[in-house]
A = this chain, B = another copy of it.
Amino acid sequence: MARRVTSHDVAALAGVSRSAVSLVLNGRAEGVISAENQAAVRAAAKELGYRPNGIARSLRSAATHTIGVITDSIASGTYGGAMISGATDVAARKGYLLLAIDSHQDRELEVEAVDMLRARQCDALLFAAEGLHSWQPPESFLAEKCLLLNAFDPQGRVAGVVGDEEVGGRRATELLLEAGHRRITYLTGTDEVIANGRRITGHREAIERSGAHSTLVPCGWEIDAGLETGTRVLDVAEPPTAIMCANDRVAAGVFLAAARLGLRIPEDLSVVGYDDDPNVAPQLGLSTVLLPHRAMGERAASLLLGALDGKELPTGEIPVDSPMVRRESVAAPRS
């Protein structure tokens, strides 16, 4: 770690002043610095491997090109990483980097994290939640340009980028309706998960518009719940021709239930999942609604970057489309 090269060294080697170096390297030299001096500066910079000290530059310009991110437990799940990764990529493309810290769902740590990030003069703040939920931002968070990811502010003071769960619930239902199903069962998740209610709303909308019939059966989120509830629902005189599942793991349970009962998918039973879980959906050939985590992260970063560019930040919830991933688990019902 030899002493760092500074603009002073470059200026000396090129035989110009430090300001000349600054102008040339920041593209503000045209018509200000002679062509040969420009060349000399560039040559010297290259020879010395000069990189401007970002800290000094930040101090001067009062901009760190850094977005502070508070995550609530992002690494524990399968999906959180995709959001952060999407945000990182979009930010990096504009020269911004993410400074991340995890609060482990601890309110005190959250506040402390905001403080740490603010002390480092982040240009903007982002709060990212593993699972969609309501989040009350501390005052210090609101003092900056800020945004929520996979979360929303109950008081609506900050905008939040979220997956469009209603559309997702509607799409999954419509896929079954369009295939011709009229007797549909929806194995729902649990109410403490906010997405659940929204998906149900979307589902009901689609059903009502169609005139078909659906039954909602509380189930849960895990494979064994899918197996158990799926078996109960299917092992009756007039079973549904299609099942919509709370998520892909439940769908996997339904696959098992169907296999047990000798029902083939999709010939005897159509199944649609939710999440596009990479560990489940492709293996099963499951048609499912994609939770657009990466796109959400990208969206959040680009909104924040826009705000730093002077654009207005939106308010309220910013839904990101949840597309349908079609595989082989849905077909027309046996007539």
Q: Which of A54, A75, A119 has the most CB of B within 10 A?
A: A75
User: A97-B120, A100-B97, A118-B51 given as contacts; is B84 within 8 A of A75 (CB)?
Assistant: yes
Q: Are B119 and A52 in contact (CB under 8 A)?
A: yes
**Among B54, B78, B80, B117, contact of A121 (Cβ-Cβ < 8 Å):** B54
- Expressed in whole angstroms, the Cα–Cα distance for A88 and B121 within the complex equals 19
The main secondary structure of chain A at its interface with chain B is: mixed
**Residue A85, interface by CB 8 Å:** yes
Q: Are B88 and A102 in contact (CB under 8 A)?
A: yes
**Oligomer: number of copies:** 2
Contact flags A78-119 to B (C-beta < 8 A → 1, else 0): 101110110011001001011111101000000001011111
Which of chain B's residues have a CB closer than 8 A to the CB of A59?
Answer: 53, 55-56, 59
Q: Are B92 and A85 in contact (CB under 8 A)?
A: no
Which of chain B's residues have a CB closer than 8 A to the CB of A207?
Answer: none
Which of chain B's residues have a CB closer than 8 A to the CB of A280?
Answer: 279
Residue of B nearest to A58 (CB): B55
- Expressed in whole angstroms, the Cα–Cα distance for A66 and B58 within the complex equals 15
**Residue A74, interface by CB 8 Å:** yes
Q: Are A100 and B98 in contact (CB under 8 A)?
A: yes
**Residue A236, interface by CB 8 Å:** no
Which of chain B's residues have a CB closer than 8 A to the CB of A143?
Answer: 1
Residue of B nearest to A69 (CB): B100
- Expressed in whole angstroms, the Cα–Cα distance for A76 and B89 within the complex equals 13
Contact flags A54-73 to B (C-beta < 8 A → 1, else 0): 11101100001010000000
**Residue A223, interface by CB 8 Å:** yes
User: A119-B52, A223-B283, A283-B223 given as contacts; is B100 within 8 A of A100 (CB)?
Assistant: yes
Residue of B nearest to A277 (CB): B279
Q: Are A101 and B119 in contact (CB under 8 A)?
A: no
Q: Are A53 and B121 in contact (CB under 8 A)?
A: yes
**Among B54, B85, B97, B119, contact of A74 (Cβ-Cβ < 8 Å):** B85
- Expressed in whole angstroms, the Cα–Cα distance for A97 and B101 within the complex equals 7
A:185-227 near B, CB below 8 Å: 223-224
Q: Which of A55, A56, A66, A117 has the most CB of B within 10 A?
A: A55
**Residue A144, interface by CB 8 Å:** yes
Which of chain B's residues have a CB closer than 8 A to the CB of A88?
Answer: 100-102
A109 CB to nearest B CB, Å: 9
Beyond the given A55-B64, A97-B99, please list 6 additional residue pairs across the A-B interface where CB-CB is below 8 A: A51-B115, A51-B118, A54-B120, A55-B121, A92-B102, A223-B283
Interchain residue pairs with CB less than 8 A apart (10): A1-B143, A1-B144, A51-B118, A55-B55, A74-B81, A80-B81, A88-B102, A89-B104, A97-B117, A98-B99
A-B CB proximity, top 4 nearest: A75-B85, A75-B81, A54-B120, A81-B81
* Interface residue ranges, A against B (CB under 8 Å): 1, 51-56, 58-59, 64, 66, 74-76, 78, 80-82, 84-85, 88-89, 92, 95, 97-102, 104, 113, 115-121, 143-145, 223-224, 277, 279-280, 283
